[in-house]
């Protein structure tokens, strides 16, 4: 998919929306020094072109009782299309997996797992991941603290 050409105002809009997607159109227009109607047209174009892929609330996992995060590297036992499709289908059913990336190198996938506690993680690992998904090897690392959380996509200099 080709990238979209963005001017300085588009980049300002994207930066503001990444910082606070609940801004009203009027607040956003004021911050980027455009009229409300021009701002709305630009945001709608960015949405239509897929630059803005969606809006969502950022939730605090601890407040939800999800106190343990782990990164789990997975190596599959088979690498044919059926095995990859089956693994993908399983991963997409599991709420504990908040992200899954296919990798290069010695491991096939990197999963970010969010669970209540070590017991929840152990049940997830044994009952779901190792039991159903054609997994040959698993390597887990637990998050001690987050040094830098996701704060948005890096934007080109304006």
Phi then psi dihedrals of residue 104, to 5 deg: -95, 170
Examine the pLDDT at 15 and tell me if it is beyond 90. yes
8-48: which CATH number, 1.10.1740.10, 1.10.10.10, 3.10.180.10, 1.10.1060.10?
1.10.10.10
Q: Parse the chain into domains and list their residue ranges.
A: 8-48, 62-142
96 exposure class (CB count in 10 Å sphere: 0-12, 13-18, 19+):
buried
* pLDDT tens string 43-71: 999 999 999 999 999 999 999 999 999 99
pTM here is: 0.87
Assign domain 62-142 to a CATH class. alpha beta
Query: If you count them, how many residues does the chain have?
Result: 158
Examine the pLDDT at 1 and tell me if it is beyond 80. no
Are 75 and 133 a contacting pair, CB within 8 Å? no
Average model confidence (pLDDT) across the chain: 95
Nearest to 66 by CA among 118, 140, 101: 118
150 exposure class (CB count in 10 Å sphere: 0-12, 13-18, 19+):
exposed
Mean pLDDT score, 90-103? 96
């Amino acid at each position: 998919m080709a990238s979209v050409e963005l001017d300085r105002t588009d980049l300002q809009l994207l930066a503001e929306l990444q910082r606070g997607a609940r801004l009203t159109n009027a607040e956003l227009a004021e911050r980027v020094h455009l009229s409300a109607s021009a701002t709305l047209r630009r945001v709608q174009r960015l949405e239509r072109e897929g630059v803005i892929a969606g809006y969502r609330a950022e939730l605090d996992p601890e407040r939800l009782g999800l106190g343990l995060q782990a990164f789990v590297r997975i190596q599959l036992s088979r690498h044919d299309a059926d095995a990859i499709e089956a693994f993908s289908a399983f991963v997409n059913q599991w709420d504990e997996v908040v992200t899954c990336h296919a990798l290069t190198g010695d491991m096939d996938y990197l999963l970010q797992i969010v669970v209540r506690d070590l017991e929840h993680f152990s049940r997830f690992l044994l009952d779901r991941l190792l039991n159903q998904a054609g997994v040959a090897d698993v390597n887990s690392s637990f998050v001690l603290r987050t040094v830098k959380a996701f704060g948005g996509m890096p934007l080109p200099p304006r």
